[in-house]
Chains A and B, each alone.
Chain A
Amino acid sequence: GENVEQHPSTLSVQEGDSAVIKCTYSDSASNYFPWYKQELGKGPQLIIDIRSNVGEKKDQRIAVTLNKTAKHFSLHITETQPEDSAVYFCAANTLGGGADGLTFGKGTHLIIQP
């Protein structure tokens, strides 16, 4: 089955700086890669996703890149703000493969220092 590795487990950046979180996956059949933000006591919130037919996707201060050959994808947050502090999870699955449960990484605690 799929295995997703995520790092770093904790990331502290100064407000205004950029943050990058990286994930690798093992199953070359995976074709859908969402990112979720989870605040304390809440459910995960989908913030951006990418399919394997594109290499990059951007939404305001958030971007995701995908390298299918190397089987890794990354989340980039620019101009970080205090409200970006949360736990971020990457995930992967194979759409249309019959089993559509997401496989998650273990999460990154992002801390924005004022």
Chain B
Amino acid sequence: NAGVMQNPRHLVRRRGQEARLRCSPMKGHSHVYWYRQLPEEGLKFMVYLQKENIIDESGMPKERFSAEFPKEGPSILRIQQVVRGDSAAYFCASSPQSYEQYFGPGTRLLVL
């Protein structure tokens, strides 16, 4: 059973560009979570989604950030007009129910 998959693993963007991060949950998992990790920091919750629904986006910045988990395909975290402060590791986790969360390898975003 393949684990949580994220791509790309590394992403470089210039200020003002858009970043799209993808997450494919483990087979059979319908709950997806996105977290952001700054250097030497713990993970910060951003958003929790189930298929086609955003359940909790209390950790997501109000502007430039959006997330979706369509009926078909991976979950997408989208950052518009990136700024240097968006540079971080972004992790996706999935869960078969609202319980244990299994993390992917992350996407390291660098904004130049």
Write the residues of chain A forming the contact surface with B, with a CB cutoff of 8 angstroms: 4, 6, 32, 34, 36, 42-46, 49, 89, 95-96, 98-107
Cβ–Cβ contact B100 & A101, under 8 A: no
Q: How far is the CB of B59 from the nearest CB of chain A, in Å?
A: 6
Q: Which of B52-78 contact A (CB under 8 A)?
A: 55-56, 58-59
Contact of A43 with B106 in the complex, beta carbons under 8 Å: yes
Q: Which residues of B are in contact with A by a Cβ distance under 8 Å? A: 4, 6, 31, 33, 35, 40-48, 55-56, 58-59, 91, 98-106
CA distance A45 to B103 in the complex (A): 7
Output the residue of A95, A99, A105 with the most chain B CB within 10 A. Answer: A99
Contact A104 B44 (CB under 8 A): yes
Which secondary structure characterizes the binding site on chain A?
loop
Decide yes or no: A46 and B100 within 8 Å by CB, A89-B42, A101-B59, A105-B42 being known contacts: yes
Structural contact, A43 and B42, CB atoms closer than 8 A: no
Sample (9) of A-B pairs whose CB atoms are under 8 Å apart: A34-B100, A45-B103, A89-B43, A95-B99, A101-B46, A102-B33, A103-B45, A106-B42, A107-B40
Contacting pair B43 A98 (CB below 8 A): no
Q: Please, which residues of chain B bring their CB within 8 A of the CB of A6?
A: 42
Q: Does A106 lie within 8 Å of B105, measured CB to CB?
A: no
